Structure 1
Amino acid sequence: MNNDFMDALTSLETDKGIDKELVLEAIESALISAYKRNFNQAHNVRVDINRDNGLIRVFAQKQVVEEVFDPRMEISLEAAHEISPAYSLDDVVEIEVTPKDFGRIAAQTAKQVVTQRVREAERGIIYADFIDREEDIMTGIVQRQDHRFIYVDLGKVEALLPQSEQMPSETYKHNDRLKAYITKVEKTTKGPQIMISRTHPGLLKRLFELEVPEIYDGTVEIRSVAREAGDRSKISVHAEDPEIDPVGSCVGPKGQRVQTIVDELKGEKIDIVHYSEDPIDYVGNALSPSKVLDVQVDVAERSTLVVVPDYQLSLAIGKRGQNARLAAKLTGWKIDIKSQSEAEELGIYDPETANVPGEPHDLEMFTEELESPDAEEVEEDLEEDTWPDDEEVEMDEEPTDSSNETP
């Protein structure tokens, strides 16, 4: 090795952040193994690389003893004194044993070590870049696919999109551009492994942050997201400033902002509703686009009984119970929906005492601190509920869509 090699190590340290001293120490360790392997030497050796000019020297290390039994590992006191009178018993004497043709072996070994270190450093840099991008979205290009994954190029690395995280309404073709949510970044022996998703609720949240400046700067806050990927989603938003319309901010002028997100999600319908601390208003808003006549709240069970007009029962429940199911996920409250006529027959609805969303309510019963239920418990509760298909419910007239629902 020469000065050019040392200069190259200095450049690597500057450009890729690879510690020059650590590389030299790794080369010295590798050269010890190479020396023993190529020259059939079993004795202890030390390799020294001059940090200024790159000169490599090999030293055999021998212990000073009174009587020599293994000349490869030991040296007599008399022989040691011939080198230096300062040596005494049990000292270690270093004798240079650098082979004449060691330079070629050293160069090859150094190349292998540097290549390995560069590869490790690049993997480390990529991992450091992407570990900070967990729970964020990135744009990638579809490269290929097999029976398990879609492989998406994110620039420095290929990310994996598992089948379970693919939207059922989407087909993926080579060179398609798509935005994906990074769910997990792991270190592996082959480099960092990036797992991405197109179905995660976080994808919807991040898309709104990109498209809505008021969400990005914190003026409008996303409080909850419920999503059935590829079909329909609900998102609740809130603004501390009463002068700001959080739903209007998300919809955008002529619906442009939310339409951009719908296009990215290949036509997935999105309901944007107002968040409220009042569970009557919140549940009523979450069941949009249906009209709600009454919301009866059981704080202890964290459940609600909702009464809707007969002609909107189908709209409130949704196809295969989707609207009610998403509303329950969004609010964290169990929702039982009754038609007006059924509720009146059961004697559980009185228009005079009804809790109508949007009207003033007595909130004293809601002042106690309520903990959000565990997500798995909510899922289990929702799975136990059976909702009729909207086709099974007779409708007297065609319901009207809410203005905050995307087409």
Structure 2
Amino acid sequence: MNPELMEALQALAGERGITLDTLFAALADALESAYKRMQGAHEFSWVTIDPDTMEIRVFAQDLDDEGEPVGEEYDVTPDDFGRIAAQTARQVMTQRIREAERDLKYEEYAGREGDIVTGMIQQTDARYTLLDLGRVEALLPQAEQVPFERPEANTRLKAYIVEVRKTAKGPQIVVSRTHPGLIKRLFELEVPEIADGVVEIRACAREPGHRTKIAVGSNDRNVDPVGACVGARGARVRMVVNELRGEKIDIVPFSEDPADFVMKALSPAKVKEVLIDEETGTATVIVPDYQLSLAIGKEGQNARLSARMTGWRVDIKSETQVAEEAAYADIEWAEGEWILDEATGEQVWRPAEGGPAVSAGQWTEAAVADEGPEPDEAVVEAEAAGDSEPEADDEASDDSVPGDGPASDEAETPAGDSDTESEPQA
């Protein structure tokens, strides 16, 4: 029987991909369990298997009052042990083999979080999609699926491993189609420079099914990171887009300068200036008026992805908005609040610095008094002042002319004399 058992174990090990040592350990545990079910079995006993002769022996050792083994071990193998324990051992061994297979499958995928796998779609329902990876199945939950992407049965699909769980039924591999890491892995498959580490994807932001932005940098100054990812005539990036079912991908160069990085992240919009506020983590972006809608993007998508990729809160303003804010900044605003006067039922102004509350009419009069006369009134006063000055000049000229004749007649002669006197003397 032993040679046949050895051949069966070897065949099973080759079929299941399990080592003989694992099978021997499983068989020994199964036989030990079968022995302890027998009447009169020793409490402290174990089974040994000789791998060369396949001889199976049961050994035992006595226990003291405290439950510790004492004395020498001795052979307690029953005469009919093989016949009695065969059926029980077969059942337990089958169970242990299944457990060993589950452990092997788990070890195969344990620690592979972040890798990309290709599977065949087996089943799809409202909760999840099952992918056949060969020896195991992967679970693609509905939350990890791209909106509007309809997986079809018996088609291949690439997915990103996000978690490997160990369960009683075997390893459960959870994969995703929405994780940003899927973008990085797909580019590694299509761009040799990324796989070799020459080009790196430094940042990535994604809205699955719609648009993705990635920032790439090069460790070799002779290699253009953007060109390497795009490929000749866009061949490389096109392969990634096809795998993502047409999702748009923006590739921009990475920059250590925050302002420059934000400016490049907002591509294809043209940016005039970026102001960085490190205390608030805000990047104020100033763009020409005609570039405002492009910089913000459809439903704010471009600005939103840029903020996620750069890590800055992006505030986009047009040149007109900046000019208007600068104009309003020069205006001194009153500090206080409008409250309800319970006695009169009217709104009254209560200054922030304290003091009595004033009515709306009083507040308006005080504001006008502080600002000075209205522009129209100032113009009228200036015109009135201009009209009064000529009258004063006329009065002065009338007083200065002697005699009873008209002032104009007397004024002509000095004019002629002055011309004569202005000539140089001989």
Compute the TM-score of the two structures, normalised by the length of structure 2.
Answer: 0.68
Which structure's relative contact order is higher, taking Cα pairs within 8 Å and 6+ residues apart?
Answer: 1
Paired residue secondary structure (2:290): helix
In the TM superposition, residue 59 of structure 1 has moved relative to its aligned partner by 7.9
CA distance in 2, matches of 1:275, 1:63: 71
In the TM superposition, residue 183 of structure 1 has moved relative to its aligned partner by 0.2
Paired residue secondary structure (1:290): coil
Does the C-alpha gap of structure 1 residues 54 and 328 become closer, same or farther in structure 2, counting only changes over 3 Å? same
Question: Counterpart in 1 of 2:361?
Answer: none
Q: Contact 2:48/2:58 (CA < 8 Å) preserved in 1? A: no
Question: Counterpart in 2 of 1:347?
Answer: 326
Question: Counterpart in 1 of 2:117?
Answer: 138
Question: Counterpart in 1 of 2:4?
Answer: 4
Match of 2:97 among 118, 123, 128: 118
Question: Counterpart in 1 of 2:332?
Answer: none
Paired residue secondary structure (1:289): coil
Q: Contact 2:303/2:314 (CA < 8 Å) preserved in 1? A: yes
In the TM superposition, residue 299 of structure 1 has moved relative to its aligned partner by 1.7
> Is 1:249 matched with 2:228?
yes
CA distance in 1, matches of 2:55, 2:19: 24
CA distance in 2, matches of 1:153, 1:229: 23
Q: Contact 1:324/1:335 (CA < 8 Å) preserved in 2? A: yes
Question: Counterpart in 1 of 2:264?
Answer: 285
Question: Counterpart in 1 of 2:360?
Answer: none
Structure 1 gaps of 5+ residues are: 65-88, 349-407
Please identify which structure carries the higher helix content: 2
Per-residue Cα deviation, 1:309-367 (whole angstroms, up to 9, x for no partner): 1111111101111110000000001110001111122239xxxxxxxxxxxxxxxxxxx
Does the C-alpha gap of structure 1 residues 316 and 9 become closer, same or farther in structure 2, counting only changes over 3 Å? same
CA distance in 2, matches of 1:158, 1:60: 44
Does the C-alpha gap of structure 1 residues 299 and 33 become closer, same or farther in structure 2, counting only changes over 3 Å? same
CA distance in 2, matches of 1:23, 1:144: 34
Alignment of 1:22-101 (within 5 A): 22-36=25-39, 41=40, 44=43, 46=45, 48=47, 51=50, 52-54=52-54, 97-99=78-80
Q: Contact 1:24/1:49 (CA < 8 Å) preserved in 2? A: no
CA distance in 2, matches of 1:224, 1:111: 55
Amino acid at match of 2:35: I
Paired residue secondary structure (1:143): strand
CA distance in 2, matches of 1:274, 1:93: 75
Per-residue Cα deviation, 1:119-171 (whole angstroms, up to 9, x for no partner): 22221221111113210111111100233211111111111011110000200
Amino acid at match of 1:9: L
Amino acid at match of 2:172: Q
In the TM superposition, residue 29 of structure 1 has moved relative to its aligned partner by 1.4
Paired residue secondary structure (2:197): coil
Question: Counterpart in 1 of 2:158?
Answer: 179
CA distance in 1, matches of 2:323, 2:32: 86
Per-residue Cα deviation, 1:57-102 (whole angstroms, up to 9, x for no partner): 67898899xxxxxxxxxxxxxxxxxxxxxxxx99998666433xx5
Does the C-alpha gap of structure 1 residues 312 and 146 become closer, same or farther in structure 2, counting only changes over 3 Å? same
Question: Counterpart in 1 of 2:188?
Answer: 209
Match of 1:16 among 18, 21, 26: 18
Amino acid at match of 2:18: K
Q: Which moved more, 1:167-176 or 1:27-36?
A: 27-36
In the TM superposition, residue 26 of structure 1 has moved relative to its aligned partner by 0.6
CA distance in 2, matches of 1:137, 1:120: 26
Aligned pairs, number: 318
CA distance in 2, matches of 1:267, 1:4: 59
CA distance in 1, matches of 2:73, 2:141: 59
Does the C-alpha gap of structure 1 residues 94 and 200 become closer, same or farther in structure 2, counting only changes over 3 Å? closer
CA RMSD in angstroms comes to: 2.8
Does the C-alpha gap of structure 1 residues 63 and 318 become closer, same or farther in structure 2, counting only changes over 3 Å? closer
Amino acid at match of 1:198: R
Q: Contact 1:214/1:220 (CA < 8 Å) preserved in 2? A: yes
Paired residue secondary structure (1:152): strand
Amino acid at match of 1:310: D
Question: Counterpart in 1 of 2:275?
Answer: 296
Question: Counterpart in 2 of 1:229?
Answer: 208
Compute the TM-score of the two structures, normalised by the length of structure 1.
Answer: 0.71
In the TM superposition, residue 209 of structure 1 has moved relative to its aligned partner by 0.9
CA distance in 2, matches of 1:291, 1:49: 78
Identity %: 53
Does the C-alpha gap of structure 1 residues 10 and 345 become closer, same or farther in structure 2, counting only changes over 3 Å? same
Paired residue secondary structure (1:171): coil
Match of 2:179 among 178, 196, 200: 200
Q: Contact 1:126/1:156 (CA < 8 Å) preserved in 2? A: yes
Does the C-alpha gap of structure 1 residues 339 and 33 become closer, same or farther in structure 2, counting only changes over 3 Å? same
CA distance in 2, matches of 1:16, 1:90: 37
Q: Contact 2:61/2:71 (CA < 8 Å) preserved in 1? A: no
CA distance in 2, matches of 1:255, 1:171: 26
Does the C-alpha gap of structure 1 residues 283 and 185 become closer, same or farther in structure 2, counting only changes over 3 Å? same
CA distance in 2, matches of 1:283, 1:309: 16
Question: Counterpart in 2 of 1:311?
Answer: 290
Structure 2 gaps of 5+ residues are: 65-69, 328-426
CA distance in 1, matches of 2:76, 2:310: 78
